[in-house]
Amino acid sequence: FRVKTSSGMGSFGNFSQGVQVGFGNAAIFTRIKTHVGQAENNFPFTNPVLPGKPTVQLQHAALKQYGAMYELYGKWNKQQEAGLAVWYENSSRQIPAPVTAGTSAALQDDASLRVAAHWNYRGAKAEVPVKSGWFAEKLYYSDSLSGISSDNKAQTWFNTAETVFTRNKPFQFTVGCTN
């Protein structure tokens, strides 16, 4: 059984925290991870495009993030192992104005859910790795000052399998497919 925690604080409203809990043995292992973070990002900078190149404070640049991950790994015997991972991430950010513009109201929110699994067989003359995954991504952008908004969603599914034959080292022959 293992527990890890982390936290940090820094300049300009930077704060992060994470927790990880895992347990298992040589045959099976599972772990859960979570994290959260935020930053105001309101740092001072020299604006070279304004007369006199004044030092100004960055506005509308905050960031908030959180996520979680679950992992499960197992060894069925000396030749076979498998694993599963599921994770979710969410991020919200204010997008600051360019140095030539005065203000910004642009926002972007991202979210993703991902699932990946694998199985591996290792024999005396061949190795067979099989992998599959599904990703769902969402990105939302809006800027009330310009009247622009965009809502994008995407899903991706991938699969791959191959067989690696080893007759005499270092010579190998690989056959596989990916979609």
Q: Could you read off the pLDDT of 95-137 as tens digits, one per residue? A: 999 988 889 999 999 999 999 999 999 998 899 999 999 999 9
In angstroms, the CA 72 to CA 89 distance is 18
Percentage of the residues of the chain whose pLDDT score is greater than 70: 100
Predicted local distance difference test score (pLDDT) of residue 40: 94
Predicted local distance difference test score (pLDDT) of residue 95: 96
The distance in angstroms from the start CA to the end CA of the chain is: 38
Mean pLDDT of 166-172: 81
DSSP three-state, residue 13: helix
Global confidence as pTM: 0.84
**pLDDT surpassing 90 at residue 172:** no
Residue 55 tokens, joined: 């030092």
Contact 162, 177 (CB under 8 A): yes
Kindly indicate the confidence band of residue 15, based on its pLDDT and cuts at 50, 70 and 90: very high
**pLDDT surpassing 90 at residue 171:** no
- Within the chain, strands assigned E span 2-9, 15-24, 28-39, 44-46, 55-57, 63-75, 80-95, 106-122, 126-143, 148-166, 172-178
Q: Which residue type, as a one-letter code, is found at position 119?
A: W
Mean pLDDT of 38-53: 92
Mean pLDDT of 75-83: 95
